[in-house]
Each structure stands twice: as C-alpha cells, then as structure tokens.
C-alpha cells in the first residue's frame, strides 16, 4: 500500500527522504533541503510535518532519537528503495527525452 501511495515522489518528498540519508531532527530538514537545492526548493513547516508523519506510517523513515520535543529521523531501506525508484524513473525520463531528441535530429 505504502509503495503504491509513494510510487512517484514529489520534489518535497524526494528531498526530505534524500536529506534523511543522514540523521537529522525535523527542524533541521527544512534548512538541509534548501542547502541541497541551492534554495530552489523550500519545504513549508506544515508540509514537513505531514510528510514526516506519512513517511513514518509507511515505514520509509524511522525515529532515531527523542530529546524533549526534538525528534530525529533516518531513512529506512523502504525509504531508500522509494528514493532509488524515483531516481530510476527520473533517469528513464531523461533518457527517453535524449533518445527522442536524437531521433528527431537525425536526417
């Protein structure tokens, strides 16, 4: 079910999972995503909360530490698989695009 739900990842989902390849607390994820994308992608706090909640429910991330109200997370193998699947999908898109353009340019 979870894989079906996250079969394709939005940019926000992708970068949150990507940033959690190393342990981070929730509040630091927003800054990390901005760093990773050079400010191109920003994650709103509501979106961060909802996605962390949904990833936890789907077993794509795990809570690693709770210090007071501060919680840290790390990607799980299921999350890593979702990330890699999305990368394969994106790579397929770019390869399809390149092939199509090549074919059009050939006389």
Partner 1 sequence: MSREKKWEPMRYAFYDFRGLEVRFTAMAARGWMVESVSAWGIRYRRTVPRQGRFAVTYVPEASDFDARPTEGQELLEDYCAQAGWRTAVRWGQMQVFFNPDPHAVPLETDPVAQVEAIHRAMRRSALPSQASMAVLGLAELGFLGWMLQSDPVGTLAATGFLLLGGWLPMALMAAANLAFYFWWLPRAKRAAAEGRPLPGMTLRGVNEALLALETVMILLWAAYATAQSRLFLVAGAAVAAVIALLTAGAKRGLKRLQAPRWAVRGGTAAASLLAYAALLAAVVALVLSRSASLGEHTLVEEYTAYGMTWEAYADPIPLRVGDLLGEETPEAYSTEARVQSSPLVRETEYRQDRRLDWEGDLPELTYTVVDVRAPFLYGLCKTGMLEKWERYQSDDLPEEYRERYLLQSGAPAGTDALYRRYTGSDPDNCFLFCWENRLAEVRFYWDPTPEQLAAAADRLAPA
Restricting to residues 62-81, name those near partner 1 by CB under 8 A: 69, 71
Our finding on whether 13 is near partner 1 (CB under 8 A) is yes
Q: What is the 3-state secondary structure (H, E, C) of 61-105?
A: EEEEEEECCEEEEEECHHHHHHHHHHHHHHHHHHHHHHHHHHHHH
* Residue whose CB is less far from partner 1, 43 or 75: 43
Restricting to residues 34-53, name those near partner 1 by CB under 8 A: 42-51, 53
Site for partner 1, rule CB under 8 A: 10-13, 26-27, 30, 42-51, 53-54, 69, 71
């Amino acid at each position: 079910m979870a894989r079906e739900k996250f079969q394709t990842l939005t940019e926000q989902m992708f970068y949150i999972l990507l940033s959690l390849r190393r342990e981070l607390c929730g509040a630091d994820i927003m800054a990390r995503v901005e760093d990773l994308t050079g400010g191109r992608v920003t994650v709103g706090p509501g979106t961060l909360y909802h996605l962390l909640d949904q990833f936890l429910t789907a077993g794509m991330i795990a809570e690693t530490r709770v210090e007071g109200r501060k919680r840290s997370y790390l990607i799980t193998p299921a999350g890593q698989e979702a990330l890699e699947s999305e990368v394969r999908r994106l790579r397929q898109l770019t390869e399809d695009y390149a092939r199509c353009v090549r074919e059009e340019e050939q006389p």
